[in-house]
Amino acid sequence: GYMTFSNGLILQWGQTVAGANAYSADTDFPIAFPNNVFSLVGSKSEGASGASDGNDAGIEYVSLSQYKVYSDDNEQTINWIAIGN
């Protein structure tokens, strides 16, 4: 989902699955950020297989409209949040 604020700030969030090769395809944000992505954070979903095993997981910025997630565990769900304007 996403929320826009009157000052131009945009908050977006969601879940994406890291695919069988440990990376998702480039994935669209719910809406494109017009200007900047200030922060983009991802972590393994609680309760998912391997969620507390310490393996690497996260998210990578691709563009103002796209990102991709990764995990050492194939098919791992990644929760993410992004802030921009």
Indicate the DSSP class of residue 25.
P
Between 76 and 54, the higher pLDDT residue: 76
Tell me the three state secondary structure of residue 69: strand
* Residue in 68, 11, 9 with CA at minimum distance from that of residue 42: 68
**C-beta neighbour count of 63 within 10 angstroms:** 12
pLDDT confidence of residue 38: 97
Of the pLDDT bands very low, low, confident and very high (cuts 50, 70, 90), residue 64 is very high
Cα pseudo-dihedral 30, 33, 37, 43, rounded to 10: 0
pTM of the model: 0.82
Residue 39 pLDDT? 96
- Tens digit of pLDDT for each residue in 4-62? 999 999 999 999 888 766 778 889 999 999 999 999 999 887 655 544 555 677 889 99
Opening angle at CA 73, ends 38 and 31, nearest 5 = 30
